[in-house]
Amino acid sequence: MKRVRVLVADDSAVFRQLLASALAQDPEVEVVGLASNGVQALELAARLRPDVVTLDLEMPVLDGLGTLQALVRHHPVPVVVLSAHSPQGADLAVRALQLGAVEVEAKPQEPWTGVALAALVQKVKAAARARARSRSRTGPVRMVAVAASTGGPNALASLFARLPNLRTPVVVVQHMPAGFTTSLARRLDEVGAMRVEEAQDGTEPAPGVVYVAPGGRQLEVWDGRWMVREPEPQDVLKPCADVTFSAVARWFSPALAVVLTGMGRDGLEGCRRIKRAGGAVIAQNEETSVVYGMPRAVVEAGVADFVLPLDRIPEEVVRVVEGTP
């Protein structure tokens, strides 16, 4: 018999272990992961693909509702939400059901008894048979937008070496000075199946082609074509992922954003706009990032739909672009 694979997310180490132990005592259940906050829960859910997630609403770093939203959007896994005995807890529980939780249970109060935990185990097993609700994108992905900074060139080479020839255009924003991105485009063109070139002003993005944003400039879109412009005096990042991603959201939605290793928070606002326009966001996980700054920003803001190691990102890009389940 296939056992129900459960991920437990709770900020209380004591309750987390008690619930995990109660679940593990059932021969039909396997506890595959434990998370102490929402960011960990998203990373483990992406890597482990559990059958059910138990989710405490009151967690640090990224709270339960933010975690639930990210899980529901592109990780259609049944979620059992645990809510505190309080008016505020009741309000959060109703909101969780509206967002897509399949079950809301009152969190057992201390002292935690075997009877209460056993009842919760049965709820988790029942949730595994439920159909999770997923908020699908508004249509086929029209462009893939990739952002990277520190450690980016090697990460990009790894990504494109594993990607097939996609049926959408791809744009890459790598923080680099003027004159360096031509060499980057040439290097990426040599490693994989897709054609890679530096973006030129006035060019219409073509399926199967990767466009690298020119260093020292800003890359936008106007009337469906690339617009390469001089940066504003106050611009620190040239090119800037937020600038390009926002233009992609405006002209090529729904899009898929991929945020790789890098320092700072560039890409967060652009990812928010891509999400609002019906797109999706993949973030590289901490373990495989040289600097976990840009990916961390989108994960902690609850914007990332997938948090994956670098070697898992290409297959997820293909899955999202092709629209396969």
Residues 310 and 162 in one domain: yes
Residues 285 and 178 in one domain: yes
> φ, ψ for residue 209 (rounded to 5)?
-115, 140
pLDDT of residue 111: 63
Domain membership of residue 36 as a residue range: 4-127
Residue 137 lies in a domain: no
Residue 40's Cβ-side half-sphere holds a number of Cα atoms within 13 Å equal to: 15
Residue 233 lies in a domain: yes
Residues of the chain with pLDDT > 70, as a percent, come to 91
Question: How many structural domains are present in the chain?
Answer: 2
Residue 215 lies in a domain: yes
Of 60-64, 99-103, 219-223, 253-257, where does mean pLDDT reach its minimum?
99-103
Cα Rg for the chain, rounded, in angstroms? Answer: 21
Mean pLDDT, residues 286-296: 93
The token duo for 258 is 């991929």
Residue 134 lies in a domain: no
Of 127, 161, 184, the last residue of a domain is: 127
Q: CATH number of the domain that 260 lies in?
A: 3.40.50.180
Residues 45 and 152 in one domain: no
Residues 22 and 107 in one domain: yes
Nearest CA among 45, 49, 82 for reference residue 63: 82
Is the per-residue pLDDT at 97 higher than 90? no
Does the N-terminal peptide bond of residue 60 adopt cis geometry, omega within 30 degrees of 0?
no
Is the per-residue pLDDT at 79 higher than 80? yes
pLDDT of residue 117: 83
Is the per-residue pLDDT at 150 higher than 60? yes
Residue 136 lies in a domain: no
pLDDT of residue 262: 94
Residues 266 and 242 in one domain: yes
In terms of Cβ atoms closer than 10 Å to its own Cβ (0-12, 13-18, 19+), residue 157 is middle
Residues 180 and 311 in one domain: yes
Q: Which residue has the higher pLDDT, 90 or 307?
A: 307
Q: Which residue has the higher pLDDT, 1 or 177?
A: 177
Give the pLDDT band (50/70/90) at residue 22: very high
pLDDT tens digits, residue range 208-262?
999 999 999 999 999 899 999 999 999 899 999 999 999 999 999 999 999 999 9
Residue 135 lies in a domain: no
pLDDT of residue 35: 95
Of 93, 127, 161, the last residue of a domain is: 127
Residues 109 and 154 in one domain: no
For the entire predicted model, the pTM comes to 0.63
Residues of the chain with pLDDT > 90, as a percent, come to 62
Residue 253 lies in a domain: yes
Residues 292 and 161 in one domain: yes
Residues 210 and 98 in one domain: no
Active-site positions read 149, 175, 266
Q: CATH number of the domain that 38 lies in?
A: 3.40.50.2300
pLDDT of residue 135: 44
Residues 169 and 304 in one domain: yes
Residues 219 and 314 in one domain: yes
Q: Which strands form 79-83's sheet, in the order they lie side by side?
A: 29-35, 4-9, 52-56, 79-83, 103-106
Residues 117 and 209 in one domain: no
The SS3 of residue 207 is coil
pLDDT tens digits, residue range 167-191?
999 999 999 988 899 999 999 999 9
Nearest CA among 195, 194, 200, 197 for reference residue 219: 200
* Residues 74, 46 contacting (CB under 8 angstroms): no
Mean pLDDT, residues 93-107: 76
pLDDT tens digits, residue range 115-138?
778 888 888 887 876 644 444 444
The SS3 of residue 13 is helix
Residue 39 lies in a domain: yes
The token duo for 306 is 């997938």
